[in-house]
Every structure is written in structure tokens, then in C-alpha cells.
Amino acid sequence: MIRRHLFAALLAALPLSFAARAAESPADAAARKALTELVPQAKVDAVEQAPLPGFRQVIVSGQMVYVSDDGKYLLQGSLYDTRSKRDLTAARLAVDTKRKVDAVPADKRIVFAPSGKPKYKVTVFTDIDCGYCRKLHSQVAEYNQRGIELDYLFFPRSGLNTPSFDKAVSVWCAKDRKGAFTAAKSGANPAPLKCDNPVAEQFTLGTQIGVNATPAVFAPDGTHIGGYLPPDEMLARLQSLAPPALAGN
């Protein structure tokens, strides 16, 4: 009995990825093996049956590839359902993105919200020094007037421990964080500050969901709706995806 309890405790302590891998089908394992042999440094987030018969779909750093069940063939690109006129690749990636972005708590975001309850909420990965990021933020009041809340996460394009990264840290550590953010977006250099901050983890999150340019704007359902979008265009894009009630999710 003691041994059985000990075994159960050890099993419960195993990493989720190990348990999931142990339960993989032969086709899942073949797809994973083929991909990691082709790209040894690849970090595989998920392997599952694809809508395309005879293939598995594999999510790698926010990207989707399709691998044949025998591991012999790999396809990269978007998979469309011609009958429903739906991008199945984008829809599946959005689910994964939403899960990861929703895990970022409110106290690790810089939020610019309308005075009333927002109709929509977007997550924006931003770089302090990015020109289109600055253009987007210069219109933040116009987005808010249209009922759109902007939740900012940092993505210094130059990488960790670079001048843009340091500016993001300084903004985060400022006493008036939103004021420092807006001033930096206007071209002012923030006073150098250090403190516990989420900049590195937000940069890592961005790379995990496929961010490779800024601004990167994500809808509440995880859909990447683009880079810079003028206020009316962003509103129209959000309206085309879902009703306003989605903003409460």
C-alpha cells in the first residue's frame, strides 16, 4: 500500500509535458521525432491530429507545421477549409495564443481603458522605440473613444539587455507608469530605473506566440489582427471577429 501511494505521488509530480508525451500515439511520436531531427533546437508546444487526413499538426514557437503520420513529409503554410472559407491554422493558433496571453495577470500589463466598460480589449506587444508603436499610442484616446481597451505588454525587438529593453524596464519601474510610458512613446528617454519587472517574461511570451514585429495586436480570442491599425479599422476588424460581449472574457 505504501509503495502504491509513493508511486502515485511520484506520478503526480511528473512534468505535464512528460506525462503528455508518454500518452502520445505512434503518429504523434513520429511527427515529434521528425521535427526535432530536422530542427534540433525546436521547442514543440503541441502535437495533435490535424484536420488534414494522414497528418499531425505541430505547434512550434507560435507557428504551425503539418507532419505526415509516418514522419516522412512536412508542410508549412495555412490550411483552409474551402467550404466554410475558414483559416483552420489561424483558428487553432489563436486558441493557443489566447491561453498564453490570458495567463498574464492585470498587474503585469499597462492598461489604457475607456472611461466606461470597454466593448473590446486588445493585447498589444510593443517596443518603446518602434515608430508604428508610437503612432498607435499617439491615438490611444481615439481607440478608447471607440470602446477599445489597449493592454500593453513589452516586446523590445532588439532583445534582452539592450537599450530598448532597458527603457521598458525604466518605464515599468517609474512611479507614474502610464505617464512614463506615454512620455517614452513621445520620444522622451525615461530616467534609468531598476526593479522587479515582467519585461523579460513578456518578451519570451511574445516569441512563444510568434511575435516578430511590433506593434503586434491580438484580439480577445487570440487572433493576431495585425500591426498598426487606425482606430476605425481596428474597430471594424474586431467587430468582424466577435460581438462586443467577448470583451468581458
222 pLDDT exceeds 50?
Answer: yes
Pairing outcome for strands 120-126 and 148-154: parallel
Q: What is the pLDDT of residues 56-75, one digit of tens each?
A: 999 988 889 999 999 999 99
Looking at the structure, tell me whether residues 120 and 152 fall in a common domain: yes
pLDDT at 19: 42
Cα dihedral 183, 101, 160, 143 in deg (nearest 10): -20
Q: Do residues 120 and 149 make contact, with C-beta atoms less than 8 angstroms apart?
A: yes
What mean pLDDT value characterizes the chain? Answer: 88
pLDDT of residue 74: 93
Residues 117 and 34 in one domain: no
For residue 9, being part of any structural domain is answered with no
Domain CATH number, residue 44: 3.10.450.70
72-104 tens-digit pLDDT = 999 999 999 999 889 999 999 999 999 999 999
User: Looking at the domain assignment, is residue 7 inside a domain?
Assistant: no
Q: Distance between CA 216 and CA 152 in Å, rounded?
A: 10
What CATH number does residue 141 fall under?
3.40.30.10
Same domain for 130 and 243? yes
Claim to verify: residue 60 and residue 109 sit in the same structural domain: no
**Does 32 map to a domain?**
yes
Question: Do 176 and 126 lie in a common domain?
Answer: yes
166 and 62 housed in the same domain:
no
Complete edge-to-edge strand list for the sheet that includes strand 74-76: 44-49, 55-60, 63-68, 74-76
Structure confidence at residue 241 (pLDDT): 86
Look at residue 40 in the predicted model and tell me its pLDDT: 87
- Per-residue pLDDT tens digits for 31-57: 999 988 988 888 888 999 999 999 999
Distance CA 131, CA 227 (A): 11
Same domain, 63 and 135: no
Tell which wins on pLDDT, 38 or 246. 38
Active-site annotation, residues: 127, 130, 133, 157
Q: Residue range 159-177: average pLDDT?
A: 96
Specify whether 155 is located in the same domain as 244.
Answer: yes
pTM above 0.95, yes or no: no
Q: Are residues 117 and 83 part of one domain?
A: no
Question: 221 and 153 in one domain?
Answer: yes
| Distances, alpha carbon 85 to alpha carbons 79, 91, 219, 223, 238, in Å | 10, 12, 20, 16, 18
| Residue 38, domain extent | 20-87
Tens of pLDDT, residue by residue over 103-148, are 999 999 999 999 989 999 999 999 999 999 999 999 999 999 999 9
pLDDT at 23: 67
- The answer to whether residue 2 is domain-embedded is no
Determine, yes or no, domain membership for 229.
yes
Which residue matches cell numbers 491599425?
229
Please count the structural domains in the chain: 2
In whole angstroms, what is the distance from residue 118 CA to residue 189 CA? 31
Asked which of 87, 117, 141 is the last residue of a domain, the reply is: 87
